[in-house]
Amino acid sequence: MPEKFDYTLDYTKLDLRQQPELYRVGKGEQGVLMVEPYKGEILPHWRFKTPEIATESSEKIYAMFLDYKEKEDFIGMDMARKFLQMGYTRARRYTNHKGGRKYDENGEVLPYTDDPIKAEAARIFKVKWDEAKVDPDYIRMKKEHQQKYG
């Protein structure tokens, strides 16, 4: 079981490429918008408004995943994987709820919608996310990182 993502660290002052021992995989997308320098490298390419934009974005982020892999940079690979996962989950949220908001100001679930454009964008990200998470080198490096650092 992966150790929990550490939200107590001041990520604005950390470079986890230089301090990989501080990185914890956590669950799902934890830390995706915090871990530098990866957030700054990947976020500018993360878009899912239309299937065309999602295709370009997911392909770019997957290419970054492969580049991090070539450099034996597990944290970069994991962050790229998290951005691909987040592309899927956010596009699904916009598929199901107009404007991407699931709850109203009273905490009630807003009505479900079915936006086929966002559904296709989600599907596109899911394909790349699925490729990343089963990559044998990613799996090996994840296990090694967790054994070494927790």
Contacts of 122 (CB under 8 A, 6+ apart): 48, 54, 87, 88, 89, 91, 92, 95
Region 65-93: mean pLDDT is 97
How does pLDDT run across 5-18, given as a tens digit for each residue? 889 999 989 999 99
pTM of the model: 0.92
User: Quick one: pLDDT at residue 1?
Assistant: 43
- Domain boundary assignment for the chain: 11-149
| Nearest partner of 26 among 43, 42, 6, 10, judged by Cα | 6
